[in-house]
Amino acid sequence: MNWNAKMNVVSIIPTHNEAYFAPLQSKFLASQDIKPVFIDNESTDNTVDWLKESSHTHFHLSTNGMFHLELIQNERIKIAHQMEPHWIIYGDCDEFFIFKEDIQEVIAHAERSGCNAIRCKSFEIYNTGEHHDTQDTINQYFSGAYRYTTKGIIRIHKYDKYIKYTGDNIWIPNIRIYDVWGLNLNYGPARPKQQREAALLRSELAWSAGLNRSFGAHYRAHKTQNWVMQESILTDIRNTSYAKEFFKLLNILKN
């Protein structure tokens, strides 16, 4: 294999009213030489107009007003099988993977090591009240420390015809993990209150239709706190060992 050649890496991203985050995600992925593929899930803002005006591959998925994770996962896998890329990034519009090296280089290292999945730390950025009713989301800095487990999460993996997605978990046969310094930064909890409440309502529709109630349960927990977390129990990511990667991301998004 020519390790200097760029691989066909796609990020398959569902969207619902992502007029703010979709252009940011597009900008970031372009900086990493990665192809975005969008699945619009019944957007009612100008996300669809932006997708039509962009040159990005995009699909449409109807879920009857529900935030139905299983249906979205099935569509992701269907598209992956249609495209058969070398590697896939499993992420949402408000999630960014930032490492010391570009993602293509990290994937090349994983390939050289005989690995088929990449694991990194994950941080959730929370709304702490400064911009509670605005869309200035990327200016939030406070994290709930490591998300999921201290080992990190697997969201970047090699294409396999047997891939399965359950919740936000990825399964591929004979998984061989490459651990990398860097982070998955999830801005979902930093979104404005109105958007968070709308996501909860769409999740409730899906639960009523039979979706596992653990999918999206974090919306219920965050609602009890009125969608705002106290800084005193959070970590300022600017003061962590990941600050350099964090500012690298902000530089890409803001310039």
List per-residue pLDDT tens for the chain, 255 residues long: 454 567 999 999 999 999 999 999 999 999 999 999 999 999 999 999 999 999 899 999 999 999 999 999 999 999 999 999 999 999 999 999 999 999 999 999 999 999 999 999 998 898 887 655 556 778 788 887 555 456 789 999 999 999 999 888 899 999 999 999 999 999 999 888 899 999 999 999 999 999 999 999 999 999 999 998 888 888 889 998 999 999 999 999 998
Note the pLDDT of residue 166.
Answer: 87
Note the pLDDT of residue 143.
Answer: 84
Determine how β-strand 177-186 pairs with β-strand 117-126. parallel
Contact 164, 88 (CB under 8 A): no
Note the pLDDT of residue 131.
Answer: 58
- Dihedral of CA atoms 195, 51, 104, 186 in degrees, nearest 10, equals 0
Note the pLDDT of residue 61.
Answer: 98
Q: Which of 204, 206, 231 is nearest to 219 (CA)?
A: 204
Note the pLDDT of residue 177.
Answer: 97
Contact 89, 170 (CB under 8 A): no
Whether this model's pTM surpasses 0.85: yes
Note the pLDDT of residue 147.
Answer: 52
User: What is the number of other CB atoms lying within 10 angstroms of the CB of residue 121?
Assistant: 24
Note the pLDDT of residue 135.
Answer: 65
Which letter does DSSP use for residue 58 in this model?
A: E
Within 13 Å, how many C-alpha atoms sit on residue 38's CB side? 28
The answer for 12, left when phi > 0, alpha when psi is -120 to 50, beta otherwise, is: beta
Q: Measured in Å, how far apart are the chain's first and last C-alpha atoms?
A: 35
Residues in a beta bridge with 39: 14, 59
CATH match for 9-254 among 2.40.128, 2.40.160, 3.90.550, 3.10.20 = 3.90.550
